[in-house]
Structure 1
Amino acid sequence: MNTLRNILLKGGNAVDAAIASLFCIGVMDAHSAGIGGGHFMTIYNATAKKCYAIDAREVAPANASEKMYIGNWNASQKGWLSIAVPGEIHGIWTAYSKYGGGVEWKTIVDPTIQLLKEGHPVSQALSKALKEEQKNILSEPTMAMFINSKTGKIYEAGEQITTRENFMEFLQNVSMSSDPVQLFYNSTLTQQMVDEIQQNGGIIQFSDFVNYRANVYDEDSLIYTELSNGYRICGPPPPSGSAVTEAIIKILDEYSNEEVALDVMLHRYIEASKFAFAERSKLSDMAMNKTAFTIAKHIASGEYASKIKSLITETSHPSEYYGGDFEPLEDSGTTHISVIDSEGNAVSVTSTINLLFGSGVASKKTGVIWNDEMDDFSSPDRPNYFHLHPSKANFIRPGKRPMSSASPLIMHDPNNSEKIFVLGAAGGSKIISGVAFVAMRAMWNSENIKYAVDAARVHNQLTPNITLYEKNLPEECILALKRRGHVMVQRDNLSVVTALRKDSNAPIYANSDYRKGVESSPAGF
């Protein structure tokens, strides 16, 4: 993450550094994030002691419809019909214009251009993704940038990718532009990208790009949770998953004064997760669901937490006990960045193109890899392995943003701007459990960031009502949870959490999750 550090050293603030990182990660982790996707960003201003948020989530095209994938379910996951209108550039420029500006725009974009010009090594994470998707990549002409011309095979870990000239040229135009939003969303370049999409069976129109807007939220529109230790959590409203994550944390806060064995703590965490995930089915884009914000605020409240605590018993229960009767939503992909600058300003941003390499197709003109966020919507009558009903609140509507698990949280002490905790994760629906789990261990187990992030995790999203656990969870704890009625299934690397924490008169401590791979590490300055 030298790009992030260098921007800070040049005088950029946390927002500038986060944006530079988003551009860089869109290249290095092209399978997870990029210009063709979108993000949620939470910003903390240390001077004002206030949080803000930007929702740059993708939206359904105007020609999208509720039943558009019936009989062709795979079309929501791969191909040109799976693309939603991207929000990444709009959100990035909005963040820079309103909250950044410590360095010139060109200074932020140019490091990624240089990376593309010189070529960049294939990381272990990118290599793994390429192997998983090699059948599609080898057969899809627009993804040929990931094929080594010398071998005729997909790039291997450590090899240099030098085949993204069109994307490099596109970023050069972005770097020199006085209005990147105009360039990407309302220009001849836009029309060329739209023509490509439509010629290949997609439904995005020029007007879909023109009409896109990143939503900016001030204090009054964020999801806040007040904790007993004086910290306040802030995160974006729906369709982000922050409210669900905050609900879990607040329920666990009800037990914050109790010292218990690990299996008891995990049992309570699992039960809190199931109740919170049940509420997730009621959330969706606030612009089209008048009750979404009210529900989100409620589940992050002390009143809700107290009620749920009274319902948590010593054992697990059938799914119906938690109010769950809906389709499990498995969003995927994603990458997360956490930043604190020298002034105490902070950014937590989660970016995604959804599944590995998004839609699996790219623009020939710009090299932008398109998202497949249409798959994050629910659809009526969609076959479901668990025989559960789709979430009506998340059905497709033109101009609607699909529900997300992204939970870019900032926890701060309103009475002491030096005390701040910035965290978020990648990993689809496991983002919610991963962020809540790390917060729980760091806040109430008095664990440092290293231990809290590295500790073996568990995950239960209610549907299915099984608890996934990582292999280094102690055997006696697994057996104790089974005795409480939990169905335990081993699954490695549940999510990838990135966390930063600073206390009064103390340095910033950071941990980049080992689950990401050997290339993952914090960048100090």
Structure 2
Amino acid sequence: MHQTDEKVGKYKLRWIIFFAILGSVTLSTIAATIVATIVTWLLKYEPSPVPFNTAANSTFDRNNEYILDFGNVNSETDLCSKMGRFILNKNGSAVDSAITTMICNGIMKPSAMGIGGGFLMTIYDRKNKQAHFLNAKDKAPLAAHRNMFNGTNEKSSKIGSLAIGVPGEVAGYWEAHQKFGKLAWFDLFEPNIQLCKIELKKVENEYPSYDKTCPQFCETIRIIAEQGANEFYNGTLGEMLIDDLTDQGSIMTIDDLKNYRVKWTDPIVSDFLNGTKLFTSNLPGSGGLLVLMLNIFDEFKFTRKNLIGLPNEIETYHRIIETWKYVYAIRSQMGDPDFTNMTDLMKNITSKDFARNIKNKIDDKRTFNEPSHYGGAENLLEDHGTSHMSVIAPNGDAVAVTSSLNGLYGSTIRSYQTGVLLNSAMDDFSIPSITNTYSLPGVNKNNEVEGGKRPLSSMVPSIITTPNGDVRMVIGAAGGTQITTSTSYVIARHLFMGDSIQRAISAPRIHHQLYPMAVSCGTLFPKRISLGLQKLGHVVKLSDTASSVIGLVQINGTVIGHLNSMG
């Protein structure tokens, strides 16, 4: 790992004032009066946070380079989104903003993400019209093997010390900042150090161990800010982390931390809708599956008319469901490309011909309830410990990043010396010896446990550009196996069918992942459409699971964000 940037001063009063402005700090009347006086003075020197959902006028500077009046940030926590926008206002890069927002969400949403997990990040450079993909997902410990869960409790891959993968979050922050950061490393952490001290106590009732580990976790954030990521992987923090995990039965060692490396690759790129370009996650993410879904939708030539009139609505939803079933069947062939050659498979599923062949197999008059009809062979487990962030910077750059602990609160194992809550990444592998919720074993040989391997993920952090290279949309989702379907659904409604981003994200959603053989829909999904789907042979079930889609769109220089969780 690299050495850290020089520490930038002591914590500044302006950050405390910043949180007061955002309404996150409760002050007494006297204290509020004092702060208000200081704020009046500080605002002469520092820009106020960018208001959300405000129009920005696009212009060109003297070098004919594309700029926006300001950028925008969208995440599942409003405070963290505001913090990310503040970083943009300080002339930080899109990556700077994303990192600060992620650290904040790890503090505010510890059930979903944090420095004990990992992430996938898609980055777009507007000036050069190039995209980059950073894989900072968790790895299996070197001592892990395909039979490690034999004879164990069936929940051992989900909860407990054996469920923990080597976390990549901090390494990912560092490597992204080294390549695309503008502000000092410490500056990205400084507001979060204050936030940790002020805010983390509020979640003690949600997770009882916080009262014991809050001070240690805040100190860990401060040490990483001052000393860099190397301290987490090859320093005292790493040693304390491994000591705690060893005491709790983990097979992870200090060598696992020392040998962890992120991976830079090209994103998956696909053209659709007459030159619109999609940049999305490469393996171990599910970007290839998202590309296939959108290519099939493109073959159907979905338009606004597909949402007008009950017969059209039923046919459109039927086609979407059938698309998902065929696509999810292919997932059972995918795996970590560092362990299995995925070149031919990825080339096939991202081709237009492959999409056309699947489109031609879809029968508008009926569905099939045998997984073998679609080529399916693997059941998919749901995970809910995930969070997504979307960023568009004033210079037109963009970041889409999805981070995860895998399950709610990950493995539920916490390092008491560091306060770090660890992931349950091992449950994303196909584990033959464990029968899952639907009584179907994992059978994907390419996704079986191996030491140093990364498991498959449903994450699809995506950036969509116009034919001239401007960012059109930044999108991703949280919600386990629903991530890919929800993202494709929102893109289809917005770009293909002409819904506003708000309407596309807020529209009642459906989901099908082949196993179980049923369409999941929330209580808000129209009864008339579900009845029509049942007449075509679909099994429709109400579901209390939810996905959260987080998107930003830019239309004629206006940057608008929206997020919504749907059951």
SS of alignment partner, residue 420 of structure 1: strand
Query: Hey, what's the Cα distance between the residues in 2 that align with 1:486 and 1:273?
Result: 13
355-364 vs 114-123, which moves further: 114-123
Compared CA separation, residues 386 and 199, structure 1 to 2 (3 A): closer
Asked if 1 retains the 8 angstrom alpha-carbon contact of 2:125 and 2:397, the reply is yes
Q: 1:169 to 1:454 in 2, by over 3 A?
A: same
Q: What is the aligned-residue identity percentage?
A: 34
Please state how far the C-alpha of 1:120 moved relative to its aligned partner.
4.5
Who is 2:43 aligned against? none
| Alpha-carbon spacing, 1:400–1:2, altered in 2? closer, same or farther (3 Å) | same
Tell me the SS of whatever aligns to 2:155. Answer: helix
CA deviations 1:210-232 (Å, max 9, x no partner) are 110010113xxx21221033111
1:78 aligns with 2:143: no
Match of 2:503 among 447, 451, 476: 451
Q: Which amino acid aligns with 2:329?
A: A
Letter in 1 for 2:378: F
Q: Secondary structure in 2 aligned to 1:489?
A: strand
Given that 2:476 and 2:487 are in contact with CA atoms closer than 8 Å, whether structure 1 keeps it comes out as yes
Quick one: which of 352, 360, 376 aligns to 1:324? 376
* Correspondence for 2:356: 306
The partner residue of 2:210 within 142, 145, 162 is 145
| Mapped pair 1:190 → 2:238 | yes
Q: Is 1:28 the equivalent of 2:108?
A: yes
Task: State the secondary structure of the residue aligned to 1:281.
Answer: helix
Q: List per-residue Cα deviations over 1:135-181 (Å, max 9, x = no partner).
A: xx55xxxxx2158xxxxxxxxxxxxxxx611111111111112xx23
User: Which of the pair has more CA radius of gyration?
Assistant: 2
Offset at residue 2 of structure 1 (A): 1.7
The amino acid of 2:232's aligned partner reads F
The two structures have a TM-score, normalised by structure 1, of: 0.88
Counterpart secondary structure, 1:54? strand
2: CA distance, partners of 1:327 / 1:419: 36
Which of residues 400, 403, 422 is equivalent to 2:456? 403
From 290, 298, 322, the equivalent of 1:253 is 298
In structure 2, what is the Cα distance between the partners aligned to 1:225 and 1:461? 23
- Deviation of 1:194 after TM superposition, in Å, equals 1.0
Counterparts of 1:484-495 in structure 2 under 5 Å? 484-492=536-544, 494-495=546-547
Per-residue deviation at 1:81?
A: 1.7
Counterpart check, 1:94 vs 2:94? no
Rounded Cα–Cα distance in structure 1 between residues aligned with 2:518 and 2:558: 40
- Separation of aligned partners in 2, 1:204 and 1:279: 32
Change (3 A) 1:388 1:197: closer
Match of 1:201 in 2: 249
Aligned equivalent of 1:363 = 415
- Match for residue 243 of structure 1 among 265, 276, 288: 288
* Structure 1 CA distance for aligned equivalents of residues 512 and 566 of structure 2: 19
Separation of aligned partners in 1, 2:522 and 2:106: 28
Closer, same or farther: CA 310–477 of 1 in aligned 2, 3 Å: same
The answer (yes or no) to whether the contact 1:273–1:460 under 8 Å persists in 2 is yes
**Letter in structure 2 aligned against 1:239:** P
1:134 matched residue in structure 2: none
Q: 1:264 aligns with which of 294, 298, 315?
A: 315
| Cα displacement (A) at 1:297 | 3.2
The 1:81–1:381 alpha-carbon spacing in structure 2 relative to 1, beyond 3 Å, is closer
Partner of residue 170 from structure 1, selected from 202, 217, 220: 220
CA contact (8 A) 1:237 1:293 kept: no
The answer for the alignment partner of 2:14 in structure 1 is: none
Cα displacement string for residues 170-202 of structure 1 (whole angstroms, at most 9, x for unaligned residues): 11111112xx23111111321221121112211
The structural deviation recorded for 1:294 is 2.9
RMSD: 1.8
Partner amino acid, structure 1, of 2:179 = K
The amino acid of 1:93's aligned partner reads: W
Are 2:201 and 2:210, in contact at CA under 8 Å, matched by a contact in 1?
Answer: no
1:226 is aligned to 271
**Paired amino acid for 2:216:** N
Following TM superposition, by how much is the alpha carbon of 1:330 offset from its aligned partner in structure 2, in angstroms? 2.4
State the Cα distance separating 1:115 from its structure 2 match: 0.6
Q: Secondary structure at the match of 1:232?
A: strand
Contact 2:463-2:474 at 8 Å conserved across structures: yes
- SS of equivalent residue, structure 2 residue 459: coil
Q: What is the rounded CA distance, in whole Å, between the counterparts of 2:439 and 2:424 in structure 1?
A: 23
